[in-house]
């Protein structure tokens, strides 16, 4: 199976957690995109009904509208039954790093409002320890970002301002992202507290204790891991 076929297989398996009448969260990124497309298909064919969705990014919102998925907000529906999202790295405890697509702030807000957070990945995202395969994205306000980056480097990270086409990447909330590479994180919970205590940091990409299910697709098949 190709990488895209693996991503699709994981996303389609996640649809088993969604039923008619639910409020669902729509994740961002290439794997979660397949889940959004499949929800749209099921709504059109009538096998799913009365779904409303909270998107985690403007890009996801555009895709959902294109697919005819009714959208709502956390103000209208503060509790979400199931969110299907992707991840950049997953450890054996089902803690994950997210934010490679630049939507970590909205994704984390939605995750904490979700009863059942489902992560869909291909096997390349599985890791023995967080930080071995992916940097930790940190969303920061633009004002004084160089000072914030210096403080982030002080936590032991190799830091880089995320850019696209030679200009700083700007999130949906108008912030910058600094990617922090640690070469393995021994205590993710302590690091998360340290990162969020730095002035200028809005949120970090460590999603700890919020994921209930991880669906992993590989050439051997699709495996469901539960917390």
Residue 145 CA to residue 197 CA, distance in Å, equals 15
> What pLDDT score does 47 carry?
96
> What pLDDT score does 143 carry?
98
Question: What stretch(es) of the chain map to CATH 3.30.70.260?
Answer: 136-203
> What pLDDT score does 75 carry?
97
Residue 63 CA to residue 37 CA, distance in Å, equals 8
Displacement of CA 185 from its chain's centroid (Å): 19
> What pLDDT score does 117 carry?
98
> What pLDDT score does 3 carry?
84
CA angle 213, 215, 219 (to 5 degrees): 160
Strand boundaries in 28-153, DSSP class E: 52-55, 80-85, 89-90, 96-97, 114-122, 136-140
At the fourth CATH level, which superfamily is domain 136-203?
Answer: ACT domain (3.30.70.260)
Residue 192 CA to residue 144 CA, distance in Å, equals 21
Strand partners, 117: 83, 211
Residue with tokens 């999130």: 171
Kindly report the pTM of this predicted structure.
0.94
Active site residue 107: yes
- Write down the catalytic residue from 107, 117, 139, 149: 107
Strand boundaries in 156-219, DSSP class E: 158-161, 163-164, 167-168, 176-181, 201-204, 206-207, 211-218
pLDDT under 50: residue ranges of the chain: none
> What pLDDT score does 1 carry?
75
> What pLDDT score does 34 carry?
95
Question: CATH assignment of 3-127+208-219?
Answer: 3.40.50.1360
Question: What stretch(es) of the chain map to CATH 3.40.50.1360?
Answer: 3-127+208-219
């Amino acid at each position: 199976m190709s990488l895209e076929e693996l991503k699709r297989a994981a996303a389609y398996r996640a649809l088993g957690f969604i039923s008619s009448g639910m409020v669902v969260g729509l994740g961002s990124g290439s794997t979660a995109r397949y889940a959004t497309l499949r929800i749209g298909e099921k709504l059109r064919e009538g096998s799913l009904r009365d779904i409303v969705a909270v998107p985690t990014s403007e890009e996801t919102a555009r895709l959902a509208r294109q697919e005819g998925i009714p959208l709502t907000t956390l103000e209208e529906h503060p509790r979400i039954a199931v969110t299907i999202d992707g991840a950049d790295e997953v450890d054996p405890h089902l803690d994950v790093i997210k934010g490679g697509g630049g939507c970590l702030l909205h994704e984390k807000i939605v995750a904490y409002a979700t009863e059942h957070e489902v992560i869909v990945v291909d096997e390349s995202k599985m890791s023995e320890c967080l930080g071995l395969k992916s940097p930790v994205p940190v969303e920061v306000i633009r004002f004084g970002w160089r000072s914030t980056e210096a403080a982030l480097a002080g936590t032991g990270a190799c830091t880089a301002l995320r850019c696209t086409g030679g200009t700083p990447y700007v999130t949906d909330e108008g912030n910058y992202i600094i990617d922090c590479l640690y070469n393995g994180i021994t205590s993710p919970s302590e690091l998360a507290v340290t990162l969020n205590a730095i002035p200028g940091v809005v949120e970090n990409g460590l999603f700890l204790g919020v994921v209930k299910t991880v669906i992993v697709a590989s050439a051997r098949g699709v495996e469901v891991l539960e917390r």
